[in-house]
Structure 1
Amino acid sequence: MTLIVHNAVLLPVAGEEPWLYGWFTVGDGGRITALGAGEPPAQPGERLDAEGAFVAPGFVSAHSHIFTAGMRGVAPNDTLYPWVTRNTEMLLAAGAEDLYWLTLAGALDFLGAGVTSAYNFTQSRVLAKFDYATSSLKAAAVRPVEFLTRQIDAAADAGLRCVNAVRLDDEQLPESEALQAFGFAMEHVAAAVPPELNLGGSVFGSVQWSTAPVTAERERAMMRDHRVTNQAHFVETAEQIDIQRAKFDWYDKAGALGPDFAFGHFVHPTDHMIDRAAETGCAMVWQPMSNGRLGSGIADVPRFLGAGMRVGIGLDDQSCTDVADPFENMRTGLYLQRAKHSDATILTPADMLRLHTLGGAAAIGVADRVGSLEVGKYADFVIVDPRSPDLGPIWDPVATYVLACSLRNLRGVYVGGRRVWGDGASTHPLAPEAFRQLHDRMVRVAGENGIHCAIPRSAA
């Protein structure tokens, strides 16, 4: 049956108009079939009256680690590498089913914040700690491949559209085992994730933590053999920056750079790195709140945009962004850039909305399906009511949406035209159980490694 969304202030993030009072229809396949201004033409179908609220595309988190939903507030005063090690220590006793429930809760948390699509870095089956002496990851524990596949299952079971990324761990495992596990995970994505939720597979780029160029060559081979993309964490922190920068050419010489490659963070690149990334068609994904929380720095996003790079925004970890709030993420990014450049025109509210929706989709190669309200794309959208609580007169709808709206104004979240969150709660039948399991399992596995919860759920 056709769904008719009407009486809406549409923020399509596509086309010539930044906003319009109008409507759109959703067909049986969960895609937008028509869109227009004014009142919809008479037609049969179920009607969804937005009652004059904003209707905008669901947010895209182009860089996410969804399994971290149970680790908010962890290592609150640490920079990247000590924080990474603390996260690993908390998960050393975790098994595949633990990661399933952690990921399910994290994915439902994303949906409840209006994030309908995500690039998800799965927690590697090699639990590793950062070693300062070698500037690399050292294995602390190794889990079976189900550790990966159950995370993939969980995101799909939540109903979140995902690109699923997997790390090779070729320095921590025998090469044949690492490549075989990666292939198995990509096959699982294709076979187990419903097609409408499957935004593809990807390499979790890890050359920044490798000791030899061969890792870049292996990642490039996986991109080619499995026809997947690659997003690499790169020059995120100023720590050991010369070592990090020296590894950029490893990717270049391996032939990995190109339209299917994105740099996550890219906070401290050299001029050469920016020029070469732009020249080869690479994308960049920006995490404003995470970079601030970890003291990583402020990426020069206007420069990347000016160089012609595709740029998207991600929410990163729930353990370093702490609250999966795309509104706060947009504002943090906007204000940091304006302060950095002493220029209030350097980025606009419309720029920020695009970066966290269509820009994010473009950066991870899925803009043909999500990221904007357009005919033919999935009907993933949020209803945001600026009158509840009342924000006053609306002089500029896009500016009000980005600068003044927040999760308290979020009235509903829809994936493929189906409501997944509304009235302050998830519609998913497993939501209460998912969050109970999140508390119980996270507290248990961290406790087994001597990390104890200050206020467990039973006492809260």
Structure 2
Amino acid sequence: MTALTLRNATLLPVSGARDWLHGWMTVDSDGRISGIGEGEPPPSDGEIIDVTGKFVAPGFVSAHSHIYTGGMRGVAPDSTLYPWVTRNTEMLLTAQAEDLYWLTLAGSLDFLSNGVTSAYNFTQSRVLSLFDYTSSTMKAAAVQPVEFLTRQIDASADAGIRFVASVRLDDEQLPEDEALSVFGEVMDYAKTTVPPDHYLGGSVYGAVQWSSSAKTARRERAMMDRHGVTNQAHFVETAEQLDIQQAKFDWYDEAGTLGPDFAFGHFVHPTDRMLERAAGAGCSMVWQPLSNGRLGSGIADIPRVLDAGMRVGIGLDDQSCTDVADPFENMRAGLYTQRARHSDASVLSPADMLGLHTLGAAAAIGVDDRVGSLEVGKYADFVVVDPRNPDTGPIWNPVATYVLACTLRNLDAVYVGGRASWSSGRSTHPLAERAVDELHERMVRVAGESGFHPAVPHRAHPR
């Protein structure tokens, strides 16, 4: 049964068949795309929405995200990765499970309000750790109960975003048995409590970059096998201590971890040998253009990675180092820095960038069978973007206008499973305003307990 029909749309399907078409799309009662085509739609008794003059495109996929971080925007604005992440952790040292629930709910709703309908989410570990420059490892500063993790999963599920739940083992900060047992417990929790349509799977939050021995790589591989999950590891993200980072690549290789179910997050500074081996093994790479620029991490050479044969997707990373979870800005920043790096405007096209932040991102984390493009059978997750509000001028090339000229101001509506999650400038979620107030109250309180205070007070929404 057709539940929703969009007519008179300029469709950007990102399915590979064609870049765009004028026509229609239908959604069935299960929230999946049931039809797409040119011209007029077939007759239907369901809801019909006329989107004349508007783009309809896949919801954005963030293949690398730390969704709980929206309360720390603007923090450590002139710092590189390790001082910045240290400040973030210091601000959260006294946070409890319910604090992380509300931070994650607010962050998930923020993603949805910006057109991001699916995300790979690195949960904040229950072991809050600080980076130790001497050993190039993470040292535990506080340990929280398992609910610290499960409440983050609850929050993303309650928000209605589709997500992969990624959990760090913390095998060097905790007894090995406890670390592995908790990982399994959280994977089982997500699988049994999150609605199947919204749970895109579990994953290991790869942490070999900050480990002291190859044992972590072997343990991560064991968890992937035991629980049937993927792995995404932050790796060679920053130029700091680069030789140490690069030397740990072989730990993953020797553990048999590299393969199609493994993604390198960032991968800004791989050697030629690393790139060749990762591509040969079928690994993917997830690129964060805005985050890499904000933290001075470097400019990943994406044409080089693509030429090597690696799948590449895009993520928005932390809301505290991308600062605005804006996929349009993320696409443009990536496109322009690559063209500038190569002094060549042809190295990546607008269509390439749209693909990398939708279907490419979904493929990089292994969920492209369900999300990332407008295709029959996939979830009806899409955005409606109005290039006339504010007006972007005549449309000579729909994909170019969408990627190069549209902004969040043009975002008209966001749909997940054929239902509006954001429309007319507002979230449709009943807890949206409360989530913002809770984020402010809890983040300010928790950070204040560690000596950090905002410069400007927040005025709560009236209730």
TM bin (shorter chain): over 0.9
- The aligned residue for residue 314 of structure 2 is 313
- The aligned residue for residue 82 of structure 1 is 83
Instruction: Determine helix, strand or coil for the equivalent of 1:374.
Output: coil
Instruction: Determine helix, strand or coil for the equivalent of 1:81.
Output: helix
- The aligned residue for residue 420 of structure 2 is 419
Q: CA deviation at 1:44?
A: 2.0
Instruction: Determine helix, strand or coil for the equivalent of 1:64.
Output: strand
Q: Which moved more, 1:49-58 or 1:274-283?
A: 49-58
For 1:458 and 1:416, the matched residues in 2 are separated by 34
- The aligned residue for residue 267 of structure 1 is 268
CA displacement, residues 4-26 of structure 1 (integer Å, 9 cap, x when unaligned): 11110000001321000011110
Task: Tell me whether 1:352 sits opposite 2:353 in the alignment.
Answer: yes
Q: How does 1:18-57 map to 2 (within 5 A)?
A: 18-57=19-58
Distance change >3 Å, CA 459–CA 358, structure 1 → 2? closer
Distance change >3 Å, CA 175–CA 159, structure 1 → 2? same
Task: Tell me whether 1:11 sits opposite 2:21 in the alignment.
Answer: no
For 2:415 and 2:92, the matched residues in 1 are separated by 32
For 1:40 and 1:309, the matched residues in 2 are separated by 38
- The aligned residue for residue 455 of structure 2 is 454
CA displacement, residues 143-188 of structure 1 (integer Å, 9 cap, x when unaligned): 0010000000000100000000000000000000000110011001
For 1:426 and 1:459, the matched residues in 2 are separated by 17
Q: CA deviation at 1:459?
A: 9.3
Q: How does 1:285-304 map to 2 (within 5 A)?
A: 285-304=286-305
For 2:460 and 2:316, the matched residues in 1 are separated by 29
- Contact 1:439-1:456 at 8 Å conserved across structures: no
CA displacement, residues 266-322 of structure 1 (integer Å, 9 cap, x when unaligned): 000000000000000000000000000000000011111111111000000000000
- The aligned residue for residue 361 of structure 1 is 362
- The aligned residue for residue 91 of structure 1 is 92
Task: List structure 1 runs of 4+ shifted beyond 4 angstroms.
Answer: none
- The aligned residue for residue 227 of structure 1 is 228
Structure 2, unpaired ranges of 5+: none
For 2:378 and 2:212, the matched residues in 1 are separated by 42
Task: Tell me whether 1:132 sits opposite 2:120 in the alignment.
Answer: no
Instruction: Determine helix, strand or coil for the equivalent of 1:196.
Output: coil
- Contact 2:279-2:308 at 8 Å conserved across structures: yes
Instruction: Determine helix, strand or coil for the equivalent of 2:186.
Output: helix
Instruction: Determine helix, strand or coil for the equivalent of 2:285.
Output: strand
- Contact 1:443-1:456 at 8 Å conserved across structures: no
For 1:398 and 1:156, the matched residues in 2 are separated by 32
CA displacement, residues 236-267 of structure 1 (integer Å, 9 cap, x when unaligned): 00000000000000000000000000000000
Instruction: Determine helix, strand or coil for the equivalent of 2:251.
Output: helix
- The aligned residue for residue 143 of structure 1 is 144
Normalized against structure 1, the TM-score is what? 0.99
Instruction: Determine helix, strand or coil for the equivalent of 2:346.
Output: coil
Q: Which moved more, 1:15-24 or 1:338-347?
A: 15-24
For 1:191 and 1:446, the matched residues in 2 are separated by 33
For 2:18 and 2:300, the matched residues in 1 are separated by 29
CA displacement, residues 16-66 of structure 1 (integer Å, 9 cap, x when unaligned): 210000111101110001110111022221101112200000000000000
Q: How does 1:307-456 map to 2 (within 5 A)?
A: 307-456=308-457
- Contact 2:237-2:267 at 8 Å conserved across structures: yes
Q: How does 1:185-204 map to 2 (within 5 A)?
A: 185-204=186-205
For 1:384 and 1:319, the matched residues in 2 are separated by 26
- Contact 2:437-2:460 at 8 Å conserved across structures: no
Amino acid at match of 1:179: L
Q: How many residues align?
A: 460
Normalized against structure 2, the TM-score is what? 0.99
For 1:192 and 1:68, the matched residues in 2 are separated by 24
Q: CA deviation at 1:217?
A: 0.1
For 1:270 and 1:17, the matched residues in 2 are separated by 36
Q: CA deviation at 1:3?
A: 0.7
Q: Which moved more, 1:32-41 or 1:320-329?
A: 32-41
RMSD of aligned Cα (Å): 0.9
- The aligned residue for residue 281 of structure 1 is 282
Q: CA deviation at 1:456?
A: 1.9
CA displacement, residues 317-343 of structure 1 (integer Å, 9 cap, x when unaligned): 000000000000000000000000000
- Contact 2:53-2:388 at 8 Å conserved across structures: no
Amino acid at match of 2:211: S
